[in-house]
Structure 1
Amino acid sequence: MRVLVLGGDGYLGWPTALYLSQAGHDVAVADNFVRRQYDFELGADSLVPIESLQTRVEAWRQVTGKTIDMFIGDLCDADFTYQMIKDFAPDAVVHFAEQRAAPYSMIDRKHAVYTQVNNVVGTLNLLYAIKEINPDIHLVKLGTMGEYGTPNIDIEEGWLDLEYKGRTDRVLYPKRPGSFYHLSKVHDSHNMEFACRIWGLRATDLNQGVVYGQQTAETALDDRLATRFDYDAVFGTVLNRFVIQAVLGHPLTVYGSGGQTRGIIDIRDTVRCIELACENPAEPGEFRVFNQMTESMSVLQIAQTVAEAFPGAATIDHLDNPRVEKEEHYYKVTHTALVELGLEPHLLSDTLISSLFDIAKRYGDRANLDVMRPGVDWRGAGGGR
């Protein structure tokens, strides 16, 4: 299978490309490197140093003998997007190429507008390119569990069967996202469903939980193949931040009470889920949604798990929550489709956390303590130029 991975220089895009290549697929990656520019803007950086995409691709060839093609450009450039689809002629397109951080989208008006334009327009260009070049291409798009918000009913996999005044229908599950970033993902989902319904495209929307971990079997083959390890308050995932704080002897910073519950998933399961979605494509005209998570935990439970696994002393500090969200809420999610396709989940364990401690210790001198403190206030968003 020919698979094009958009956002292939990123935290998840790069290990996904390696995993698919190792599995025998013909893989190409595309990126505009804007994620690296965010680091310069925010004064943050990956804890684990990462090589340029060109160096990574060459290292992969040296280590495995396998080649990965590269396309450098922006999905918001329609000409580039169309030409890339024509040149590589993929069977499946894996779409990671979006601004992915809720806090980044809430900095001010400028960042909110950028996030929505970048994400929504890029995906629209891609949908049109697929429609006009080869409608049989299967689009596998990374969504987010944050699209749903925290409803007081069970979260189904994308769709909801309902009865109202004696009539029944099947509708997209109601969404109440918590940031302009998550709203952009909701817009993407609706645009994709529309394209499948009207044009007969095939698409899989993967509503992913919070990803943790830094290594896959492929990235561990050579230091030059490493993917990002983000720990800052804007792009860093909460478990990664807790791990570094424990290693550096700082309190684990929990926002509010820590009762906010989230779906979580190991990075090794993320790449496997992508493979399962690609190898079992949606039907023409089908817009399907998989909830891509393996378990759910509250933020406080994650902090306690890290503190208990750490071999030294670790304390937990509760900070004022900069986000506007429920501190305690109902959270029950259906996530069976990927397991039925063959996913065998890695659940959060002391073994995994211990390996993250080792990574944090190895690169701890690169940590910038200032960027771990929350600096974006949801209530203050909306100003700025």
Structure 2
Amino acid sequence: MKILIMGIDGYIGFPLAMRLLNRGHQVYGLDNYITRRRVSKVGSDSALPILSFHERNRRLKRHFGHQIPFFYGDASNPDFVYKVIEKIRPDAVVHLAEQRSAPYSMIGLREANETMVKNITSTMNLIYAIKDIVPEAHILKLGTMGEYGTPNIDIPEGFFEIEYNGRRDVLPFPKNAGSWYHWTKVHDSNNLMFANRVWNLAVTDVMQGVVYGTKTQEIDETGLYTRFDIDEVYGTALNRFTAEAIIDMPLTVYGKGGQTRGFLSLNDSIQCLTLALEKPPKAGEYRVLNQFDEKYSVGQLAEMVQRIFENEYGKRPEIAHLDNPRVEKEEHYYNPEHRKLEEMGYRRTKIIEEEIVDAISDLSKFRDRIYNLRGTLMPKTFWKLSAYN
């Protein structure tokens, strides 16, 4: 299968490319390295050192026998996207080429507009390029469980049956995102659903939970790390807790710590996306997959890292509760469904505790590097202070 990965230089894009190469697919890449520049702009860097994509690609040739054909450019540029799709004529496109940070989108008006325009435009460019050039191709779009928000009812996979005033229908589940970034993902989903209705494009819309971890089979085999962000803008809570434990800082929980989300490991995220590519939707089908393994509160994650670090290293990190910089429910009901991937054959590889042990082991090799990034860990982006700048 010819597969184009838009955003191939990212945390998920690069290990996904290696997995697909390992399985014999023809992989193509597109990126403009904007995440590297944005992370640098907030004074941070990947906690795991990563090579340039050129050097990564050179080493992939040594391991897999050939390089990935790569296209440098901006997915929000329609001419560029059309040229790439025309040249490759892919069987499937994985769209990861979006600004992926909720805090970044909440810094101020400039960052909010950039997130809105770039993210929504890139998806529209892809929709039209596929429609005009290879309408039979499969679009796999990485969305987020954050599109749903935290409703006080169970969350289905995309659609649910509703009765109102005596009439019944199957409708898209209402979305209630918590940042400008998450709203762009909602708009992407709506646009993809509409494109499917009008042009019968085959779409998989993945509502992915929070991804954690440093390992995949291919990372172990090649020694090529993917990026791992820990700062308050681009890092996740679990990444931050792991880094803080390693450099003897308190684990910084926002608010009460009752915020609950779905989580899955990097290896299992790659497994799920590969499965969705190799078992595509039917022609003209729009399908939604909720992609996560387990749900945990932020407080539970901090306690898990605390316990694991004490067991592995004999030191018990302190847990510190900070004023929550975000506007969100800190205690809430959370029960999303996630049956479809299991019905397609997905089985998780490791439990979260094992993945945390592996992450601590990998990150501990770069303790000095993490220590030098410690100034980026504390919250500086406050939802209510977002302003024109």
Q: Which structure 2 residues correspond to residues 111-260 of structure 1 after superposition, within 5 A?
A: 111-223=111-223, 225-260=224-259
Give me the whole-angstrom Cα distance separating, in 1, the residues matched to 2:91 and 2:186.
25
- Counterpart of 1:284 in structure 2 is 283
Residue 353 of structure 1 and its aligned partner are, at CA, apart by 1.4
Are residues 1:384 and 2:350 paired?
no
| SS of alignment partner, residue 68 of structure 1 | coil
2:363 to 360, 365, 370: 360
User: C-alpha deviations, 1:267-289, integer Å up to 9, x for none?
Assistant: 00111111111111112332110
Give me the whole-angstrom Cα distance separating, in 2, the residues matched to 1:351 and 1:260.
23
Give me the whole-angstrom Cα distance separating, in 1, the residues matched to 2:384 and 2:360.
34
Give me the whole-angstrom Cα distance separating, in 1, the residues matched to 2:175 and 2:54.
39
Give me the whole-angstrom Cα distance separating, in 2, the residues matched to 1:65 and 1:342.
30
RMSD, aligned α-carbons: 1.0
TM-score, L = length of structure 2: 0.97
Stretches of 4+ aligned residues off by more than 4 angstroms: none
Give me the whole-angstrom Cα distance separating, in 2, the residues matched to 1:342 and 1:156.
19
- Counterpart of 1:371 in structure 2 is 376
- Counterpart of 1:81 in structure 2 is 81
Tell me, yes or no, if the aligned pair for 2:39 and 2:234 is still in contact at 8 Å.
no
Residue 221 of structure 1 and its aligned partner are, at CA, apart by 2.3
Are residues 1:344 and 2:347 paired?
yes
1:315 to 295, 298, 318: 318
Tell me, yes or no, if the aligned pair for 2:210 and 2:261 is still in contact at 8 Å.
yes
Give me the whole-angstrom Cα distance separating, in 1, the residues matched to 2:148 and 2:101.
16
Tell me, yes or no, if the aligned pair for 2:7 and 2:95 is still in contact at 8 Å.
yes
Residue 349 of structure 1 and its aligned partner are, at CA, apart by 3.6
Give the letter aligned to residue 24 of structure 1: G
- Counterpart of 1:328 in structure 2 is 331
TM-score, L = length of structure 1: 0.98
| SS of alignment partner, residue 5 of structure 1 | strand
| SS of alignment partner, residue 227 of structure 1 | coil
| SS of alignment partner, residue 253 of structure 1 | strand
Are residues 1:297 and 2:296 paired?
yes
- Counterpart of 1:17 in structure 2 is 17
Point out where structure 1 has 5 or more consecutive residues left out of the alignment.
Answer: none
Give me the whole-angstrom Cα distance separating, in 1, the residues matched to 2:347 and 2:210.
18
Give me the whole-angstrom Cα distance separating, in 2, the residues matched to 1:42 and 1:126.
29
Give me the whole-angstrom Cα distance separating, in 1, the residues matched to 2:44 and 2:356.
23
Are residues 1:100 and 2:103 paired?
no
Give me the whole-angstrom Cα distance separating, in 2, the residues matched to 1:318 and 1:44.
23
Give me the whole-angstrom Cα distance separating, in 2, the residues matched to 1:80 and 1:295.
39
Q: What's the % identity of the aligned pairs?
A: 47
Q: Which structure 2 residues correspond to residues 22-33 of structure 1 after superposition, within 5 A?
A: 22-33=22-33
Q: Provide the aligned length of Structure 1 versus Structure 2.
A: 383
Tell me, yes or no, if the aligned pair for 2:265 and 2:352 is still in contact at 8 Å.
no
